[in-house]
Chain A
């Protein structure tokens, strides 16, 4: 999957407008990036990328690129 598609999935998950995020966006700066979003991300990575994501791993993510890299 293209990086832009992964970012689109993240935007949909976070209910953000298309184009709000880019690879360098710091996760802390995203409105709605909280423990509920983390659970949604675990489900998203499992369902769409068949990757198991842990809470600890999420804590190590700093930017959107860290997430799209993990998605593979």
Chain B
């Protein structure tokens, strides 16, 4: 049977693979036949997930992506050890909640480090001809907060909006090799990040507009797989909205 999202034999990097959306994406991509490369800081969690992925040769590369200087070597090592990369999804991220009056430049900086700079550096390095195949797909997991930030989200919203800005020039520069660069704007997805939001007394009434209901990590993984697969071959330089209706 035709499966337009078939990923057989494709080498896909998943950052933030130890938890939440990244974990679900890794499992989904593996089920579609991809060989996944899992990155996050927690080696024990990565090992457990790699075991859960089953028979394909999945690899783990424990790494703190806020160490931007080392990303070039990390990507080179991954492609030397596993072959050229066919796709990457950047799920690693943080979502600090801080009222404006306490949001100093260091919070902006720390949030940008993982949510934006790491993504930009990953695409810069992975996009080199030596490291990736033509037709590769790069994807940032972003948020509706990039266009409709709520209270206490200044740093988070700014970091996600920066992603929306950078994907367009990136997509154009890499298009000559058929490489695509996109982002996906999720509404609320029920992960540890969402639990933390509730723990901090986050106001769920703001999310009533997500009228299809809250998303599951598996819902998110479906969208990610679509954007990494050839089924989305015509989509580039775009923020795809997957928000249960929130922005409509």
Chain A interfacial positions (CB closer than 8 Å to B): 15, 35-40, 42-44, 54-56, 58-59
Q: How does the 8 Å CB contact mask read for B91-123 relative to A, with 1 for contact and 0 for none? A: 000000111011000000000000000000000
Interchain CB contact under 8 A, B97 and A39: yes
Interchain CB contact under 8 A, B201 and A39: yes
B140 to chain A, nearest CB (A): 26
B124 interfacial contact with A, CB 8 Å: no
Interchain CB contact under 8 A, B200 and A55: yes
B81 interfacial contact with A, CB 8 Å: no
Task: Determine the residue in chain A with the shortest Cβ distance to B201.
Answer: A55
Interchain CB contact under 8 A, B201 and A40: no
Chain A residue contacts of B172, Cβ below 8 A: none
Chain A residue contacts of B101, Cβ below 8 A: 15, 40
Chain B residue contacts of A36, Cβ below 8 A: 99, 151-152
B130 interfacial contact with A, CB 8 Å: no
- A–B pairs, 26, beta carbons within 8 Å: A15-B101, A35-B203, A36-B99, A36-B151, A36-B152, A37-B99, A38-B201, A39-B98, A39-B99, A39-B102, A39-B152, A39-B201, A40-B98, A40-B99, A40-B102, A42-B200, A43-B98, A44-B102, A54-B199, A55-B198, A55-B199, A55-B200, A55-B201, A55-B202, A56-B199, A59-B201
A15 to B97, CA, bound (A): 19
Task: Determine the residue in chain A with the shortest Cβ distance to B99.
Answer: A36
Q: Number of contacting residues on B, CB 8 A?
A: 13
A34 to chain B, nearest CB (A): 10
A6 to B198, CA, bound (A): 27
> Which B105-156 residues have a C-beta within 8 angstroms of A?
151-152
A67 to B151, CA, bound (A): 23
Interchain CB contact under 8 A, B200 and A54: yes
A58 to B202, CA, bound (A): 12
A44 to B98, CA, bound (A): 11
Interchain CB contact under 8 A, B200 and A39: yes
Task: Determine the residue in chain B with the shortest Cβ distance to A54.
Answer: B199
Chain B residue contacts of A54, Cβ below 8 A: 199-200
Task: Determine the residue in chain A with the shortest Cβ distance to B96.
Answer: A43
A54 to B99, CA, bound (A): 16
Chain A residue contacts of B198, Cβ below 8 A: 55
A46 to B213, CA, bound (A): 33
Chain A residue contacts of B97, Cβ below 8 A: 39
A9 to chain B, nearest CB (A): 12
Interchain CB contact under 8 A, B201 and A43: no
